[in-house]
Structure 1
Amino acid sequence: MSKVKRIKLGSQGLDVAVEGLGCMGMTPIAGGDIYGKANEAESIATIHRALELGIDFLDTADLYGPLLNERLIAKAIKGRRDQYTIATKFGFEVGDDEKLTWKFNGRPDYVKKAAERSLKNLGTDYIDLYYLHRIDPETPVEETVGAMSELVQEGKVRYIGLSEVSGDTIRKAHGVHPLSAVQTEYSLFEREPEVNGVLATLDELGIGFVAYSPLGRGFITGDLQSPDDFTADDFRRHIPRFQGDNFYKNLELLKQIQELAAEKGATPSQLALAWVLSRKNTVAIPGTKRVRYIEENAAAANLVLDQAEIEKLESVVPVGSASGTRYDAGQMQFVNV
């Protein structure tokens, strides 16, 4: 298998594999296994196999665990830190007791504190890409980004980004310090960035786009056939898109993706990833904790779709066709802000 190709993400010089690895599911969050039970040894093996395939871009956050995910990555990359590009995030406040307060914190003093903690947990003296995970409604984004900029000046962070923000917020932040990337959920099932101005803003300003959950939080893999397929603590049970009639309506959309994938000689996951990667200046970070899936996903990075195939895929799963929101009402108020 040929190695995953690379791109310049944004205009500040960040060079990454066009496909990264979302690591969230490799550890519990606040005591619950977010995507089912994880195995540390297999997760580390997945990170190592990813590197062999050219996938050196790892995405984590201090929220995941909290802190456990960063520590897992530290184990996985020990002795070869320079071979990986590490992105981590802050903004969900983690107390000194290493527990989530379930508040957002973007105050400059907390930015510095969170960064130092992540550096320690990752076992490194620099973070390649540091994101603000969610906007703190009580702190102007300019102040938060100002503190992130100071981390760049100190050499502790190389590039900065934001997650789940609006076009207006992107402009404000970019005016303080150039952003290299903005991360948002994006897939055939979630295309809001196309219509809310986010993608247009990124293109205008030369900022890279990082698509998380490009497989619809696993739905597009086809492994899920019923809402009852989730383990008791799988957080997808609480997402409207995976509940009741919404689940089965989305399953009908998936069947059309599966048919087109069969025509292409690919899996539904590979087709969906190739579609995301057909967009310029875009990186996809599908999450997995299993070697066999990282191998399947890596093959998608070299799957090329022509314009006719792209249009056909978008016609069977048009913007807004997925049923149900991607978060519950409480969490939806904190995205695209």
Structure 2
Amino acid sequence: YGLDSRPEHIRAVVDAMLKRLRTDRVDLLYQHRVDPNVPIEDVAGTVKALIGAGKVKHFGLSEASAQTIRRAHAVQPVTAVQSEYSLWTRDVEENGVLDTCEALGIGFVPFSPLGAGFLSGKIDSTTPIDPKDFRHNSPRFSPQARAANFPVVELLNQVAQRKKGSAAQIALAWLLAQKPWIVPIPGTTRRERLSENLGAVTIELTPDELREIDAAASRIDVQGARLPEAVLRYSNR
């Protein structure tokens, strides 16, 4: 997977970032996957020194386990944890990551909050996926899995009709309603989609609506792993 979190590599990467970005400081430095060959305490200690040197402002982790988050936080306070979280990927509710972030005062940043586009309703079982697209190799994006998982989109569309929004906006509003320290990061390449995503902040889901969504979602058995096995090996470590 190309992981390298050796202290000397982290220092070299940060120096290269500063030069490339023409800046004096990286605001938030993420370790995007936990390197099994380097103790997390060494990573956190290296970032701590970089913060002390003024080269980095905040330390973040991605796809880290609750235990790893606590170990890192004991050396250098973690500002943000980034992991996949959405209405069809809710592992962090069960594996202790969200509870740990809340206990330690760490912000949580869900990536793929729209299920890599699926929860927007723009993709169904017949949508062709380019072989170069990472979703082409994702078990959850096989035609069979997409057909089985489409009830999640139908649920979002039902709520969207009532709230006068879109499926994507409801998916984001649901995340924003979970905790005030949860801030999703939807990606987009189109300006109109950016405007649509930003519109999610104007949609307020009531407690009854949130319970309704959760109850309906619990009856949907999401099919397919969220990532290929070779990538999942480096998640929740």
- For normalisation by structure 2, the TM-score amounts to 0.96
Matched residue of 2:92: which SS? Answer: helix
Q: What residue is the counterpart of 1:322 in the other structure?
A: 222
Offset of 1:316 from its aligned partner? 1.5
Q: What residue is the counterpart of 2:58 in the other structure?
A: 159
Q: What residue is the counterpart of 1:139 in the other structure?
A: 38
Q: What residue is the counterpart of 1:244 in the other structure?
A: 143
Q: 1:309 aligns with which of 205, 209, 216?
A: 209
Q: What residue is the counterpart of 1:234 in the other structure?
A: 133
Q: What residue is the counterpart of 1:122 in the other structure?
A: 21
CA RMSD of aligned residues (A): 1.3
Q: What residue is the counterpart of 1:335 in the other structure?
A: 235
Specify which structure has the higher proportion of helix: 2
Offset of 1:320 from its aligned partner? 7.6
What whole-Å deviation, never above 9, does each CA across 1:71-120 have from its counterpart, x for those lacking one?
xxxxxxxxxxxxxxxxxxxxxxxxxxxxxxx4211111011011111222
Offset of 1:263 from its aligned partner? 1.3
The AA in structure 2 aligned to 1:153 is G
Q: What residue is the counterpart of 1:209 in the other structure?
A: 108
Offset of 1:251 from its aligned partner? 1.2
Give unmatched runs, 5+ long, in structure 2: none
More relative contact order, 1 or 2 (CA 8 Å, 6+ apart): 1
Q: Is the 8 A contact 1:275 1:310 kept in 2?
A: yes
The AA in structure 2 aligned to 1:306 is T
Divergent runs of 4+, >3 A: none
- How far apart are the structure 2 equivalents of 1:189 and 1:153? 40
Relative to 1, partners in 2 of residues 1:203 and 1:320: Cα closer, same or farther, differing over 3 Å?
farther
* 1:296 matched to 2:211: no
The AA in structure 1 aligned to 2:166 is T
- How far apart are the structure 2 equivalents of 1:119 and 1:323? 42
Q: What residue is the counterpart of 1:185 in the other structure?
A: 84
What is the aligned-residue identity percentage? 39
* 1:107 matched to 2:6: yes
Relative to 1, partners in 2 of residues 1:147 and 1:289: Cα closer, same or farther, differing over 3 Å?
same
Give unmatched runs, 5+ long, in structure 1: 1-101
The AA in structure 2 aligned to 1:327 is L
Offset of 1:247 from its aligned partner? 1.1
Offset of 1:225 from its aligned partner? 1.9
- How far apart are the structure 2 equivalents of 1:269 and 1:253? 12
The AA in structure 2 aligned to 1:199 is L
- How far apart are the structure 2 equivalents of 1:143 and 1:288? 35
- For normalisation by structure 1, the TM-score amounts to 0.68
The AA in structure 1 aligned to 2:39 is P
Q: Is the 8 A contact 1:250 1:323 kept in 2?
A: yes
Q: Is the 8 A contact 2:7 2:43 kept in 1?
A: yes
Offset of 1:164 from its aligned partner? 0.2
Offset of 1:231 from its aligned partner? 2.0
Q: What residue is the counterpart of 1:18 in the other structure?
A: none
Q: What residue is the counterpart of 1:60 in the other structure?
A: none
The AA in structure 2 aligned to 1:211 is P
Relative to 1, partners in 2 of residues 1:319 and 1:185: Cα closer, same or farther, differing over 3 Å?
farther
Offset of 1:227 from its aligned partner? 5.3
- How far apart are the structure 1 equivalents of 2:48 and 2:99? 24
What whole-Å deviation, never above 9, does each CA across 1:275-302 have from its counterpart, x for those lacking one?
1011221111000011001100011023
Specify which structure has the higher proportion of strand: 1
The AA in structure 1 aligned to 2:161 is A
Q: How does 1:87-102 map to 2 (within 5 A)?
A: 102=1
